[in-house]
Chain A
Amino acid sequence: MKITRRQALAAGSAVLSSFILPARAQGKPIRIGSTLPLTGPLASLAIIHKVTAEICVDNLNKRGGLLGRPVEWVLRDDQSKPELTRTIYEQLITADKVDLIQSPYATASILAAMGVAQRYNKMLLHTSFGIPRLAKYDMQFQTAGSPFDPEVVWPNHIFDAAAKLPKPPKTIAIVTSKFPSVHAISVGAREVLKKRGLQEVLHLEYEFGNRDFGPIAARVKDANPDFLWGGTNGIDPVLMLEAMKKIDYRPPAQVHLFPAPGPMLKVPEAQGSLALTTFESHPPFTDDPAIAQFVKTYAERAKEAGIPYTAVDLQSAIMYAAWQVLEAAVNATKSLDDKTLAAWLRKSEVKCLFGTLKWNGPQNYVEGADLYKVKQLQQGRWLVVHPDPWAAPGAKIV
């Protein structure tokens, strides 16, 4: 058979394009269902998860989808209500007949979804479950890099970091919201600080949603600690620091566990504040070109979505990791069967954007170790400062 020059060129182009262009997803879409609190008290965080997941699904489809099929993300609004989360996951599995489910946001909603997942033998990856001991279902897997015992591991991370401060603290004031996860960690911190020979000079608990931080600020000022432990999340650290500013007080050093990152940048008194994270948008995290590209895309999409803080950090990273884990498990097993996927995860490790996730400990967690880091607000930027291998280039605790 004679091959013409034109045919030879066409064949060559086809072979070349198969290397250059990504595989095209074909066939019936794989439907992955989840809820997020798009309205209600947790909506400010849900939008970060939504934008991140949309990027993940787009990228996944550009790479050829899963098992050669396109991926469709079926997202519903759970209105920050766990009882509604339960109902919607039930609908996603029984009425929408999704192939797989993904994580809702926050402990209470994840717990609600976990019950449904267990009833229907669905694997549940979750991003933000604050009380691991309550995760009894054997096909649940966290993708946040958190340990089985955060009430021990996280206070130790923070006090390890605080020990590197120019003036290591000796006296601690613990002020914590009763929001379940941060409260549990703060209770643990009280035990940890005793074991480390530190002195607790104040312990206060307040209701989540507190409006007036004036008296709390005055009590911290009165106690005069070396270090303020803020068992706080969301906007509470900002409100607390502003109340302190009004009475001309600033703690010598402080941690706020999970602050809303954007608003903290605008508060001068927050400079130097420590917080927990898994990922920040700087090297070594962004050394991987794919992750650097994600950081860039996220910044663009977050801006379009009206999110004031457009850097990738803890919240977007844990959602990104959830999709990385799902993709790794499906690709490795070539299966959408929940039991097959769960069995693979239990014995495997998945490299995600902030380290290597494992599930070989109690209740699919790892005890005594995690992928969390300590960041510090320095000159208007959040920089990881502890542990050293993940620290931003040249960054030191100040």
Chain B
Amino acid sequence: MQGRDPHRTGAARLALTFLRVGVMNEVQYRVNFFIQLVQSLLTIATGLTALALVFSQTDDLGGWTRPQLLAVMGVFTIVGGMIRSVIQPNMQRVVEDVREGRLDFALTKPADAQVLVSVRDVRLWQLTDVGVGLIVLVIALIQIGDGVGWQAIVAFVGILAIGLVAIYCFWLMLASASFWLVRMNEVQELFDGVYRAGQYPVGIYPGWLKYGLTFLVPLAFAVTVPSEAVTGRLTWQAVTVAGATTVVLLALSRWFWQRGLRRYGGASS
């Protein structure tokens, strides 16, 4: 157990244990699977309709062809499912716990508090979006028809992971803001609203919005750049910027979280 970096191995083990217990818990509520599946299918149907409308007017949107945009939508759905299954439930719980003073219990444990609050919850059935998104992505790739090499798949998975970490950091900063603001009930709606913008490649938006969606809310790294990877549009520049930004975000969000912790007084009983 005492590896070279006991702190890190501890974090991974902790995450796996929580994941296992969380999944066991979710499996009890099988009806949620069907509800989520219907929800996923409805969402993708709405998205496809919008896409069809766009391409009834034009053949090209900001340099992206129809099947390429379909791929973006697939990636968008996959990433959304992942965010809603593991990132969002944990971060929302932080917001609630701060308000109700329940964070006490996470802080009196001999584990890194940030790791602990980031792995406590999992919404298994939100992963239906990942399944539906994958299907859409595969269909899009078949339509593109160039064939996808294993390098592209490796790049896609790698970039996707980087993008998810970036989104996690962004959410952690949002959640940490609750140490100062206390009431942040609407923060999830705010995030959902902004996330919806990721349905299209950020390149199609005007400059200020493009940069906002890249560096302020790191949507570009979570959706657009992975989509570039799988549609053969990836540049080394994009990878470098995504990696560097994510490293900066990791440090920044941890700093912000720890500043917040110091302010935490817990709701009095």
**A and B from one complex:** no
